[in-house]
Amino acid sequence: MAARPDPHAPVAAEREAYYAAIRPLHLSPLWEQLHTLVPPQPATPCAPVHWRYDALRPHLMRAGTLITAAEAVRRVLVLENPALPGRACATQSLFAGLQMILPGEVAPAHRHTQSALRFIVEGRGAYTAVNGERATMAPGDFIITPSWTWHDHGSDADGPVVWLDGLDIPLVRFLDAGFAENLGSDQQPISRPEGHNLARYGSNMAPLREASPHGATSPIFSYPYARSRDALARLARDGALDAWDGAKLQYINPASGGAATPTMAAFLQLLPAGFDGRPYRQTDGAVFSVVEGRGVASIGEGTSAQRFEFAPRDHFVVPSWQTLRLQARDECVLFSFSDRPVQLATALWREQRLQA
C-alpha cells in the first residue's frame, strides 16, 4: 500500500521558499524562534562549576614564573564557565578571575568603563590605588574599583598575594559601552592618606556640600574583612538565622544605601557549623568565594543536581534560576557577587525560596 502524501508538505516547502527569499533582506520570521526568545522560565546556558584552590594554585604560581605583572598588565587566570568556552566569563554577565602579584611588582595604572571588585584570597601586604588613595590588602578584604577611575596594584609583601577579580565585562561588552585608557606611567601619584574615604563615609555620616567622589559607586573602595566579619558574627549571634542564607549581609554604598557598584552586588554570609540550608533559586547568577570553613553546595534539581564539597579559597558558580542548597560542616563564611543591581533596576529580579 502506497504511503499517503503529507498534506503539509506543500505548505512547508512554500514557507521555506519564503524564508529563503527574505533572508537576503536581513529579515527572519519571529514565529520560528519566539519560543526560545521568550521562554517560560530562564534557560541559562551557564553550567555550575567548582574550582578547587588547591588544584588551581600551582598553575597560578607557575604563571608567576612565565610572565611578569608589567608584561601581562594584569596577571589573571580567568575562571571560565565550561559551557561558555572562549568568552572569558563565569556567567553571561560576569567576569571572574584570580589575579596574583609578587613581591616588588607593579601592575601598571589604567582605567576603564567596566566596574571591578577585588576579594583578597591569599597573602597580605600588597595594595591597590584608586584615584590617588591606596588600600593595603589582607585576606577577606573587599575592594572596589569604580568605573573610569585610575587604578594600579603593587606589592610590598614577602610572598605572593592573590585576589578574586570580578568585573561586569560581559555586560559592558553586550552594551557596546567599553572604553579603556592607560595612564602612561606604572603608578599614579598618591594624593590622600590611606583610609581617607573610609573615614569620611564609613561611619554612617557624609561630608556636607560634597558630592560622592565616584558617582553612583560607593565612595568607600576598601571594606576591611575584620570589620565585616565582626558585623557578620554579631548578626549571627543576636538575630534569628535565615533558613536559606544563614546570616547574610550586603556590602552597600553608604551614600545611597544601594549596592556598592551600580552593576554588581556583593555579599558576605556566615553558616554556623551543622547548618542545613533550605533550597532557593534567584535570577541573578552568582560567583562564590569560600573564606572560612568546609561545606557542600548542591546546585540544580533532583537527581541532576551537582554536589560541590568546598573548602577555604575555593570558588564556585551558581547559574541563574538554578536551585542552590548550602550545608556547613564547620562554621563557614562565603563571599559572593552577582548582577542583582541591574536586575533590580530593570524590574527583572526574582527569587523563589523552596521548603524542601
What's residue 239's pLDDT?
85
Q: Does residue 12 fall inside a structural domain?
A: no
Q: At 306, is the secondary structure helix, strand, or coil? A: strand
pLDDT band at 123 (very low <50, low <70, confident <90, very high): very high
Collect all residues with Cβ–Cβ distance below 8 Å to 224 and sequence separation of at least 6: 138, 141
pLDDT band at 102 (very low <50, low <70, confident <90, very high): very high
pLDDT band at 2 (very low <50, low <70, confident <90, very high): low
Q: Does residue 44 fall inside a structural domain?
A: no
Instruction: Judge if pTM exceeds 0.85.
Output: yes
**All cell numbers assigned to 331:** 562554621
In total, how many domains does the chain have?
A: 1
How many other CB atoms are found less than 10 A from the CB of residue 146? 23
Collect all residues with Cβ–Cβ distance below 8 Å to 217 and sequence separation of at least 6: 115, 144, 146, 147, 253, 260, 261, 262
Q: Does residue 159 fall inside a structural domain?
A: yes
Q: Does residue 335 fall inside a structural domain?
A: yes
Tell me: the pLDDT tens digits for 241-260? 999 999 999 999 999 999 99
pLDDT band at 11 (very low <50, low <70, confident <90, very high): confident
Q: At 197, is the secondary structure helix, strand, or coil? A: helix
Tell me: the pLDDT tens digits for 276-307? 999 999 999 999 999 999 999 999 988 889 99
pLDDT band at 328 (very low <50, low <70, confident <90, very high): very high
Q: Does residue 16 fall inside a structural domain?
A: no
What's residue 5's pLDDT?
61
User: Is the confidence at residue 192, as pLDDT, over 60?
Assistant: yes
Q: Does residue 32 fall inside a structural domain?
A: no
User: Is the confidence at residue 1, as pLDDT, over 60?
Assistant: no
Q: At 184, is the secondary structure helix, strand, or coil? A: coil
Strand order in the sheet with 324-328: 306-310, 295-299, 324-328, 280-282, 351-353
CA dist., res. 259 & res. 267, Å (int) = 10
Per the structure, the complete domain to which residue 74 belongs is given by: 49-206+214-353
Return the H-helix or E-strand segment holding 198: helix 196-201
pLDDT, average across residues 297-326: 96
Share of the chain above pLDDT 70, in %: 97
Tell me: the pLDDT tens digits for 202-213? 988 889 888 888
Q: Does residue 41 fall inside a structural domain?
A: no
For 59-120, give the DSSP string. HHHHHHHHS-HHHHSS-EEE---TTSTTS--SSSS-EEEEEEE-TT-EEEEEEESS-EEEEE
Question: 259 versus 214: which is more confidently predicted?
Answer: 259
> From the CA atom positions of the chain, what is the Rg in Å?
23
Tell me: the pLDDT tens digits for 125-182? 999 999 999 999 999 999 999 999 999 999 999 999 999 999 999 999 999 999 999 9
pLDDT, average across residues 17-41: 95
User: Is the confidence at residue 272, as pLDDT, over 60?
Assistant: yes
Q: Does residue 35 fall inside a structural domain?
A: no
CATH number at residue 143: 2.60.120.10
**All cell numbers assigned to 266:** 556583593
**All cell numbers assigned to 32:** 520560528
Residue pair 75/64 in contact by the 8 Å Cβ criterion:
yes
